Amino acid sequence: MMKMKWKKGKSLLSMLIAVCCLLVTITPVVYADHEKGPANHAQAAALIDVTSGRMLYSKNGDERLRIASLTKIMTAIVAIEHGKLDDRVKISKNAFAKEGSSIFLKLGEEMTLENLLFGLMLRSGNDAATAIAEHVGGTEEGFVMLMNEKAAQLGMTNSHFMNPHGLDHDEHYSSANDMAKLTAYALKNPVFSEIVKTPTKKAPNPNESWDYKWDNKNKMLRFYEGADGVKTGYTKKAFRCLVSSATRNGQQIAAVTLNDGNDWNDHSNMLDYGFAHFPLKKVTEKGQKIQGYTLVTGSSFTYAFAHDEESRLVKRLVLHKATAPDVSFGLRGHIELLLDNVSIGKVPVYEEGSRLPETPDVMQKSRSTSGPLGSLSLWQSAGEVIRHLFRANHN
């Protein structure tokens, strides 16, 4: 969070409280048995709507399992958030000739972090993973600490990382539900999403007259309509693992399977199931007037509804007391959205004519993948809103 000097400590507290109320929060709901869900051969599986964060399907979703190179989803997003893409990374002895899949980097070779990320996600290079970790984290161990911190922030309660590449380790594991949460979060990052949907990437090769050329191992990009990610994985103990994503009609869905010998077909079935049974629908528009009040909504709200669910949605207006600290900026309360008596989110409401917050897109989307309460990402997002407000005030 940007450092600011405040004359009164209470002002910061009041603003943080107000900012937290600006954000639309969504509570992901697992829809456990819609026609028994999509058929698959996985030991564990999960299906998630990326925008709303709703878990559309889960099979043994909280079981702790080996995840092989699906680990690199976490490696990539941590590196993107903590590193500089144009940094030149030198390949160390530890990264050179790393066992398992490789992009065949040479000892002492230098490559930009951005290109290493392509090699990591398209070709699953363990040498790239190690080099990235050492550069961004100072040491591989330091980077793993960042990975576990991120997992905690995202509410990945059944995950623990021991390395950046996913080679087998008894204390290195995750779950299908956790990987779905992580993927939904990562796909909202434009750098990450661009990398994982790239079919082929060329990168300068300082040691040869020809460039590196990396074809994406993810076959879903080639045979599933709308596919735009994410990562393959395999070790002798984890067996076949896959995370895929696809976008159709403005809706993005991600699928996860762990230990699935028929993953390509299963992912096609799972994604088809998600698009067919849980279309994304807009519940509110930003600035929408509330009938009977001089109030408007502060943001839009979208959700993946099953058939007939939208008709059961209840909207409850909750107004704040005039003396509450969160009435600054014109905030007057929120609309709580209830589906079958379960809260699926809240939309802030403002006095008509108030200046509505222009929340950054990535923050609006990331609200849905932080778990039932979303407290950690909420406070992190608060900093972004404060930065925006003060930037606007000083323009």
User: In the chain, which residue ranges form alpha helices assigned H by DSSP?
Assistant: 9-22, 71-82, 113-123, 126-137, 140-153, 176-186, 190-196, 220-223, 263-277, 361-366, 375-393
Give the model's pLDDT for residue 327: 54
Tell me what pLDDT residue 390 has: 41
Residue 68, by phi and psi: left (phi above 0), alpha (psi -120 to 50) or beta? left
pLDDT at 374: 32
Find residue 200's DSSP bridge partners. 215
Here the tokens at position 3 are 């450092």
The token pair at 305 is: 């509804």
Question: What are the b/e assignments for 183-216, b being 16+ CB within 10 Å?
Answer: bbbbbbbebbbebbbbeebebebeeeeeebebeb
Q: Give alpha helix (H) positions in 169-243.
A: 176-186, 190-196, 220-223
pLDDT of res. 329: 75
Q: Kindly give the interhelix angle for 71-82 and 126-137, rounded to the nearest 10 degrees.
A: 40
| Position with higher pLDDT, 327 vs 85 | 85
In this predicted structure, the answer to whether residue 392 has a pLDDT above a threshold of 80 is: no
**The two three-digit tokens of residue 39, written as one number:** 């058929």
Residue 196: what residue type?
Answer: V
Percent of the chain residues past pLDDT 90, beyond the cut: 76
How far is 205 from 62, CA to CA, in rounded Å?
42
Nearest C-alpha neighbor of 136 from the set 157, 150, 122, 154: 150
Could you tell me which residue, 357 or 375, shows the higher pLDDT?
A: 357
**Integer Cα distance of 262 and 240 in angstroms:** 9
What average pLDDT does range 229-236 have in this prediction? 97
Q: Is the dihedral of CA 192, 196, 199, 202 positive or negative?
A: positive
Q: What is the dihedral of CA 320, 380, 152, 344, to 10 degrees?
A: 40
* Between residues 283 and 23, the one the model is more confident about: 283
Q: What's the pLDDT score for residue 359?
A: 59
Burial of 270 (0-12, 13-18, 19+ CB in 10 A): buried
Tell whether the model's pLDDT for residue 16 goes beyond 80.
no
**Tokens linked to 367:** 């609200």
Task: Give the integer Cα–Cα distance in Å for 143 and 77.
Answer: 12
Rounded distance between C-alpha atoms, residue 351 and residue 338, angstroms: 23
Residue 97: its pLDDT value, please? 87
pTM above 0.85, yes or no: no
Span of 26-30, 222-226, 267-271 with lowest mean pLDDT:
26-30
For residues 89 and 118, is the Cβ–Cβ distance under 8 A?
A: no
**pLDDT higher than threshold 60 for residue 345:** yes
Q: Which residues are catalytic?
A: 69, 72, 124
The pLDDT of residue 185 is above 80: yes
User: What confidence category does residue 71 fall into, taking pLDDT thresholds of 50, 70 and 90?
Assistant: very high
Q: Which of 16-20, 245-249, 294-298, 332-336 has the lowest mean pLDDT?
A: 16-20
